[in-house]
Structure 1
Amino acid sequence: MNNKEVINLYIEDRQDTLEWMGDEVEIETLDEVVTFILNDIKQKYQTDLLTLRDHENQYYEIDQIVEFKRPHTYITIPQRQDVKTLAKNEVRLNRNIYTIKNGSILLEKYKGARKVECVDYQLSAIKKANQKYVDTLIGIFDDLVIQPKKRNSIKNEAVKPIQFQKEPESPKFGQSPKESLSPSWIQRKQLSDSSKKNDLKQLTIDEVAKHNTINSAWIVINSKVYDVTKYLNKHPGGQEELMKGVGTDGTALFMQNHPWVNAHYLLEQFQVGFLINHK
């Protein structure tokens, strides 16, 4: 007889539960659904980094959660002290239940004990949404800074070992990890060394405004000034779209189009200074 299996993902007061009959669902299907959920969380919290841990504070990656069918995984966001996830298996206020079969996924959304929405997805739609998310990241920054790995790579990659005693001790929940682990499907290129921070300048918006041409293009995002001159011709929306923010504070424009992306995480090597005296 088939037995029901469950994976729970928690962040703050949100709980996403995957339910399926053990012999009826392939690992690749679970991988797509977990990725779909994590992408949704990234967009809601406007981040591209999540940390996945169990109740003993051991780190996991997406592939390990699916391969080992971790029953309870707690999600935090590096450097975001305002996002607090308690390592408790209590049912959260906002709960999404995904009943999974190989070809379809039934999503039931609950607010407390009350069902508020029911959506029936085809697996093909889940895959399309996941690919769209990856394509968006590639489109934003091309291969200049990041290179997403191909999804569904479990069969082709050895599962990385879980953290044991020889690994650095994991921080407690609510504390910042010494080294934040990125999701396995996004590999960071080496950012500029720490000595560059000493070269960063304090700049006014008037000084930034002088760099508003294709030969010298500076843009402000979240009070940090970046020189994006070399990226103009690689912008997926075209040079004209990026030029709309050049020489100005482009934070609002950036957030309008890419709200879930951590701009500084991706553009740190292009930073030339900090914005000051900006009203």
Structure 2
Amino acid sequence: MKNNKEVINLYIEDRQDTLEWTGDEVEIETLDEVVTFILNDIKQQYHTDLLTLRDQENQYYEIDQIVEFKRPHTFITIPQRHDVKTLAKNEVRGNRNIYSIKNDTILFQKYKETCKVETVNYRLEDIKKANKKYVDTLVGIFDEMVIQPKKRNSLKNEVPSPIQFQDQPESPKFGQSPKESVSPSWIQRKSLSDSSKKNDLKQCTIDEVAKHNTINSAWIVINSKVYDVTKYLNKHPGGKEELMKGVGTDGTALFMQNHPWVNAHYLLEQFQVGFLINHK
């Protein structure tokens, strides 16, 4: 009997996620949902909403292309994150997640080296709900974003170079920031109307921020940056009341609790009014 088992591997640092399934038994849409689920988990792990996907020849791919062409090896890097190193070799990583896929169920097995440490049976419906929740969160965080679900992870205007498979701890290209990068095609932001905005940013104390704690003047601090989110209150996906919990305070911990994978400044830059000073 012919063995028509197929495999897709995703790599980042010492993590390897493997999708395995039997030939024609699994639909493309199912594979797309599982790959998206994995990439969303990686974004949460590394607190980012930007990923770059490349194959062994350093060619760039979208999620749907990885699935459609059934790319066996995809290497993931994060632009501007020099601390995230992804090996270029196709060697087995120490942290391995294996997804054995059927159309309606996914058996998840987690390994540390050779030891299995976790087993979970997912329903495809649960995977879809998790993916929808992730996108809905991003839509709600910044109302001027444009979401294009099939273009979730590309970076344009980058010039790829061949990967050097050497006995070095990492590829000289992987893990380095690209010479030029723009927003991924699935998130497009409107440009700042005032290019001199940065010159107008204030130095704010926490006492000054605390004065702006109403629905008519709502300031919040995230990662030492002060944002005026007054116009966003009624559009927050968790409701105005949830966002108001952080208004007038340092809301960094609250923000990280609810959307740890999101780059807050990337989304809210045009709402920034200043920097927080003299605050411990």
| Coarse TM-score class (shorter-chain normalised) | 0.7 to 0.9
After superposition, the CA RMSD in angstroms is: 2.4
1:191 has 2:191 as partner: yes
**Alpha-carbon separation, structure 2, partners of 1:124 and 1:113:** 30
CA distance change for structure 1 residues 183 and 102 in 2, over 3 Å: closer, same or farther? farther
> SS of the residue aligned with 2:24?
coil
Question: Contact (CA 8 Å) 1:109, 1:115: kept in 2 or not?
Answer: yes
- Match of 1:45? 46
1:169 has 2:159 as partner: yes
Instruction: Tell me the CA shift for residue 183 of structure 1.
Output: 5.2
How big is each residue's C-alpha offset from its partner over 1:17-76, in whole Å with a ceiling of 9 and x where there is no partner?
A: 111222222211110110011111112222222111223332221111111111111111
- Match of 1:208? 209
Greater shift, 234-243 or 99-108, is seen at 234-243
Show structure 2 runs of 5+ residues with no match.
Answer: 162-172
Question: Contact (CA 8 Å) 1:84, 1:174: kept in 2 or not?
Answer: yes
**Alpha-carbon separation, structure 1, partners of 2:183 and 2:69:** 19
Matching of residues 1-279 of structure 1 within 5 Å: 1-141=2-142, 144-150=143-149, 168-170=158-160, 172-180=173-181, 184=185, 186-192=186-192, 194-279=195-280
- Match of 2:169? none
**Alpha-carbon separation, structure 2, partners of 1:77 and 1:122:** 29
How big is each residue's C-alpha offset from its partner over 1:159-212, in whole Å with a ceiling of 9 and x where there is no partner?
A: x9x99xxx642372231123446555x322223164322222222223322322
Which letter maps to 1:191? S
Greater shift, 94-103 or 199-208, is seen at 199-208
Which letter maps to 1:189? R
**Alpha-carbon separation, structure 1, partners of 2:40 and 2:175:** 22
> SS of the residue aligned with 2:196?
helix
Q: Could you state the TM-score of these two structures normalised by the residue count of structure 2? A: 0.86
Instruction: Tell me the CA shift for residue 246 of structure 1.
Output: 1.7
**Alpha-carbon separation, structure 2, partners of 1:28 and 1:133:** 18
Greater shift, 199-208 or 227-236, is seen at 199-208
Q: Could you state the TM-score of these two structures normalised by the residue count of structure 1? A: 0.86
Question: Contact (CA 8 Å) 1:227, 1:271: kept in 2 or not?
Answer: yes
**Alpha-carbon separation, structure 2, partners of 1:269 and 1:232:** 16
> SS of the residue aligned with 1:233?
helix
Question: Contact (CA 8 Å) 1:214, 1:232: kept in 2 or not?
Answer: yes
Greater shift, 24-33 or 174-183, is seen at 174-183
**Alpha-carbon separation, structure 2, partners of 1:130 and 1:108:** 20
How big is each residue's C-alpha offset from its partner over 1:78-97, in whole Å with a ceiling of 9 and x where there is no partner?
A: 22222111111110001011
Percent of residue pairs identical: 81
**Alpha-carbon separation, structure 1, partners of 2:261 and 2:158:** 29
CA distance change for structure 1 residues 173 and 194 in 2, over 3 Å: closer, same or farther? farther
Show structure 1 runs of 5+ residues with no match.
Answer: 154-159
How big is each residue's C-alpha offset from its partner over 1:188-240, in whole Å with a ceiling of 9 and x where there is no partner?
A: 22231643222222222233223222222111100111111111222233333
Which letter maps to 1:188? Q
